[in-house]
């Protein structure tokens, strides 16, 4: 059963920060990055990402991202997943 739980756990990181311009991916202040959290699946990560993006909708330079950590940990995993 523990092995089955490990297979269904596809870790995702949600983080964001203020960018230097609308056309770059350079953060204005790396020390000020907002690490929202690590989530066990894409669906819960997307929910957190949407909530943070909505909170900061008035700041055009603020961006949040979802990183597929499971792909970094195992590059062959999750190719068909969101």
* Residue 67 domain boundaries: 2-73
Structure-token pair, residue 41: 């699946």
Instruction: Report whether 38 contacts 11 (CB < 8 A).
Output: yes
Please report the pLDDT score of residue 72 as a whole number: 86
- Confidence (pTM): 0.79
CATH of the domain at 47: 3.30.70.2400
Please report the pLDDT score of residue 49 as a whole number: 97
Q: How many domains does the chain have?
A: 1
Is residue 80 assigned to a domain? Answer: no
Is residue 79 assigned to a domain? Answer: no
Please report the pLDDT score of residue 7 as a whole number: 61
Q: Render each residue's pLDDT in the chain as its tens digit; 82 residues.
A: 455 555 678 999 999 999 999 999 999 999 999 999 999 999 999 999 999 999 999 999 999 999 999 888 876 655 555 5
Is residue 16 assigned to a domain? Answer: yes
């Amino acid at each position: 059963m523990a092995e089955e739980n490990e297979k269904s756990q596809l870790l995702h990181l949600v983080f964001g920060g203020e960018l230097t311009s609308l056309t770059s991916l350079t953060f204005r202040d790396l020390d000020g990055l907002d690490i929202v959290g690590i989530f066990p699946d894409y669906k819960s990560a997307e929910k957190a990402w949407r909530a943070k993006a909505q909170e900061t909708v008035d700041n055009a330079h603020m961006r949040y991202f979802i990183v597929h950590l499971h792909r970094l940990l195992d590059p062959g995993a999750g190719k068909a997943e969101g």
